[in-house]
Structure 1
Amino acid sequence: MIRVFHSMILFCLCVVVFLANLVVVPTACQAGEVVADLTLQGAERLALQRSLKLRSAQLATAATATLITRGYSVYDPQLRLSWQEGTFRDITNFQFFLGETGAEGRQVDLSLSQKIFSGADLTLAWTNQRQNQFSDPPPELNPEYRSEVSLSLVQPLLKDFGREVTEQDQIFASIDRDMSVQQLRAQASAVVAEVRNAWYDVQRYRDQLATRDISLSLAEKILAENRARLDAGILAPIEVLEAEVGLQVRRRERLDSERALHDAIDRLALALNTHEELTLEAGKLPLPDIEPDENRGLHTAQLKRPELLELQQAITKQHVQRDLDKNQLLPRLDLGASYSHKGIGEGFNEAVDQLPEDDIRSWQVGLTLSYPLGNRAAESDLLRTNLEMRRITLERQLLLDQIRQEIRAAIRQIEVSRAKVGVSRDESGLAEEKLRILLKRKEVGLATTREVLEGEEDLARAKTDESSALADFNIAATAYLHATGELLDQAKIRFVGVDAGMPEKAAFVLDAQ
């Protein structure tokens, strides 16, 4: 038994060495991290880091990537060990002989099979059998030991032939991972757009609050001056009343601006998924340096818009499925080949010792043809795949038309906002000059309090229009970049751990620089 055990171990080691080069081993990659800041870029990174929707999409992408590793299991060698033992008895009835026959036997089989990229199944097997017959007269070798080592190959030549058929699970898993990555990019782009819009709204209302603070200070100054002049007897009481009403109006307007600012900050905090108090960087809204173009934007969207790329991957998947369905329409023609060495003896050792010899060797080559009459299942699968491909193609065209509309709307908003910025700045300059003149005229009694307050209100409205136009300009620029798929590139956001091999252990994180 010890020798039998050693022989089995030696056989297994030989098989492992024989098939070692056929095993495909995937690799993994590393993941990066994101860093938070208080600037706009820092807010974007913080949102990408804390977004629950994005985190869910990251986990879904990582889970999809593990299917690629699972697909390589088709190349995992299959080890099979079987043991059988039993006895059978019968009666032999011949013309001159009637007697009991039978045998008792034991059989142990050990085999290792390996799938090859061409679709073939390669099997290395070792069969050992012991048989003790009850016939009279008994055979010369009783009990009889048989041992056989065989190598067999079954290679499909038509149906199920080729790497694409063999590795279809890996191919589909890889495409699904790429589609999941595009979904992740789309979610990230939506998060960045939401954060930017909320950020620009905060800046809008912060500038408007600053304008209202200036208006309130001026109204308080006018009221104080009017009261002093009233006490001196050189001003009518109605002027003080005008100043008091103007002050109350500006206090109310400041409260409205302050409420709008806090609401905008809350929306930004919600986008950042934080309950902490936010402190934004100081500064004015920038004037975006962007020259949008519809044709260029649409061309860029076809190359970078995640939703379009996802549908393109879906079409690619259907192309692969169509090739597989066409393969299933073919008849099955399998090439079978085998080669074996046998040994026989009164003992197990004697049978094993004969295996290296060529006395009892066998080989066999043959073809097997099979074909389902009608083959309606494969034909239906091919028809369904063609219909699905047409559906996805139409869906992609519909999305492309929608993106074109988004680009046009963003371009119109950019043009209108750019014009509004110019007009509001000119209006602000004019209102400032008018207010300066009114204040000087009021000092010498040539302008009433109402006229000064109206002039100040004109300036405040012009400043408010300017900040709103700047915010709308930035929001429109964000919408254009989002529509063309350039928003992540413009924000310098890249993915780590997606394109290197098969990252079944990679955390799909966003690295914002």
Structure 2
Amino acid sequence: MRVSAVVALAAGLFASGSGVSASEQPPAAQPAATRLNEPGTGPQLHISSDEAVRLALENNLGIEAARLSPEIQAFAVAQTRAAYAPNLFSTASRSSRSRPPTEFLSGGEGIRVNTSEGFSSSAGVQQNLLWGGGRYSVSLDGGRTTTNNPFDQVNPNITSNFTFNFTQPLLRNFTIDPTRQALLVGQKQQEIVDVQLEQQITQTARSVRLTYLTLVAAISQLEVAQESLALSQQLLRNNELRLEAGVMAPIDIVEAQAEVASREEGVIVAETRIRTLEDELRTLIMRPDQPDYWTARIIPSEQPQLTPQAVDVEAAVANALNNRTDLLQARKRLEQTDINMRGARNQRLPDINALVNYGLVGVAGTQREFDYDAGILPPPIRTETQRSFSGALRDIFGNEFRTWSVQLQVNYPIGTSIADAALAQSRIQRQQGVTELQQLELNVARQVRDAARQVDTSLRRVEATERSRSLMQQRFEAEEKRMSVGLSTTFQLFQAQRDLSNARLAELNAIIAYNQALLNLETVQRAPMGGS
């Protein structure tokens, strides 16, 4: 609509009798416009602001990297939690031993070396318990030993043992221990990482919308610069005709030529600005591996609209204090400090542990009964009884031969311990965190109030620039009429045209600034605004 209005205005100016024919039109295509839409420079991507945000959520590398952080932290938490997974263990060993007889009954006739060979294996499960900080171990083993000692009553000797051990902290490490402390801190860090991802998405969406609005403003500025260049070129041609007819001084031609050069510079600057903003936007919404990444032209498909909105400053401040991502992160870090304080306070307690041990044993093998009345050494074997390994297991599961014990262990450091220093450090860190949180809350409230103030200021700017543009329009039309009757100069007409173009662009920039202010007010309630 602005382009058609300017074209109509230009046509009216040069058809008013100032030596310009009504049939003469500004050039339809300028070199800059041709370069902007030149086929072969890349495909044109016509997108709205919402579509640009959607593309950024899909393609932005910063968001893609931030999405990996929750997964990384989830695996870190899983590593800590793995300390409470049951752990199966097993061992197997074979042994052989030889030594000279050291006792009267350890050898026999012709035996100069006592030898024994054995094989044993065991299996079990052990686990640290999340609740209460206890730990247990259950194992079952079996073994077979043979010896050349003629006095051993069981040879080969087959044994099996069942062992249960349980350790329960009663004070220190009962409600929290270093592993549970690390797990709780890691879970809070998981929440912080999730908030950081939300913050990254919010800030990226704001950057996309701001860049989109700035690109719209740059394109509009280029259109105004091209229109001004077309009008100045038309005036130059008309003045050249007047000079040839002898009705215009040569100095007026120089003024017109200077104005054309100035307007050409404006077009060049506007084109460069558009290229720069397109590159900024493409890095936000496109992937580098996409075809035509650097050559695709990004064309906004919508213009900013003026939709005044009422702003409740107190409600906006309260919303920001409750929901802003940096405040949420600061509060969760305070919760991490509280967890560390809780852990350090627990470590200052006496280390009192209750230990319960319970064991069962079963015996099998070849049991020999000696005839000690024979009067010879070694005594002859009177009977042999065979018992298989299953017999040893029956002893165990029948709870026949058991051993148990209950212990109470007490440890307490004398003097200042590591836990005392850690607790003092955590208290100071918490005090520091509370102070920093209060400062951050003040900054957030100030930023929200400033953002709300900018919304009000931008709306008043729109009203002021709208009045200015209307007055500049009237002035331009009056100057055009004065020019037609010879009461104005080319310079004065240029001034009027330039002032109208600037007023029209200022109105558009004010509308864009109002939309940017609304966007900033929305963002500042959810996350720090970060970059522009």
Range into which the TM-score falls when normalised by the shorter chain: 0.7 to 0.9
Letter in 1 for 2:354: L
Cα distance in 2 between the residues matched to 1:54 and 1:304: 20
Deviation at 1:313, TM superposition (A): 1.5
**Structure 1 residue 317 corresponds to structure 2 residue 327:** no
Match of 1:111 among 124, 132, 145: 124
Cα distance in 2 between the residues matched to 1:481 and 1:74: 44
**Structure 1 residue 79 corresponds to structure 2 residue 88:** yes
2:47 aligns to what SS in structure 1?
coil
TM-score, structure 2 normalization: 0.75
Query: Which deviates the most, 315-324 or 165-174?
Result: 165-174
Cα distance in 2 between the residues matched to 1:427 and 1:479: 26
Deviation at 1:458, TM superposition (A): 1.4
Deviation at 1:429, TM superposition (A): 0.9
Alignment of 1:444-455 (within 5 A): 444-455=485-496
Alignment correspondent of 2:315: 296
Cα distance in 2 between the residues matched to 1:186 and 1:164: 33
Cα distance in 2 between the residues matched to 1:275 and 1:303: 42
2:171 aligns to what SS in structure 1?
coil
Cα distance in 1 between the residues matched to 2:156 and 2:275: 95
TM-score, structure 1 normalization: 0.77
Contact kept? 1:329, 1:375, Cα under 8 Å: no
Q: CA RMSD in A?
A: 3.1
**Structure 1 residue 308 corresponds to structure 2 residue 327:** yes
1:82 aligns to what SS in structure 2?
strand
Q: Quick one: higher RCO (CA 8 Å, sep 6+), 1 or 2?
A: 1
Alignment correspondent of 2:371: none
Deviations 1:404-450 (A, max 9, x none): 34334433333332222111111101111222232233334343333
1:355 aligns to what SS in structure 2?
helix
Change over 3 Å in CA distance of 1:461–1:400 after alignment to 2: same
Deviation at 1:374, TM superposition (A): 3.0
Deviation at 1:232, TM superposition (A): 5.8
Cα distance in 1 between the residues matched to 2:124 and 2:272: 77
Letter in 2 for 1:419: R
Alignment of 1:18-417 (within 5 A): 38-84=47-93, 85-87=95-97, 89=99, 92=102, 104-118=117-131, 119-132=133-146, 137-139=151-153, 141-162=154-175, 167-227=180-240, 239-272=252-285, 274-287=293-306, 289-346=308-365, 347-374=388-415, 376-417=417-458
Change over 3 Å in CA distance of 1:344–1:410 after alignment to 2: same
Cα distance in 1 between the residues matched to 2:205 and 2:483: 50
Alignment correspondent of 2:38: none
Deviation at 1:256, TM superposition (A): 2.9
Cα distance in 2 between the residues matched to 1:333 and 1:248: 91
Identical-pair percentage: 23
Contact kept? 2:106, 2:151, Cα under 8 Å: no
Contact kept? 2:352, 2:408, Cα under 8 Å: yes
Deviations 1:158-195 (A, max 9, x none): 12113776533432222222222222233333322322
Letter in 2 for 1:267: E
| Larger-Rg structure | 2
Contact kept? 1:421, 1:469, Cα under 8 Å: yes
Cα distance in 2 between the residues matched to 1:132 and 1:266: 84
Give unmatched runs, 5+ long, in structure 2: 1-44, 108-113, 287-292, 366-387
Contact kept? 1:108, 1:129, Cα under 8 Å: yes
Change over 3 Å in CA distance of 1:110–1:472 after alignment to 2: same
1:280 aligns to what SS in structure 2?
strand
Give unmatched runs, 5+ long, in structure 1: 1-35, 489-513
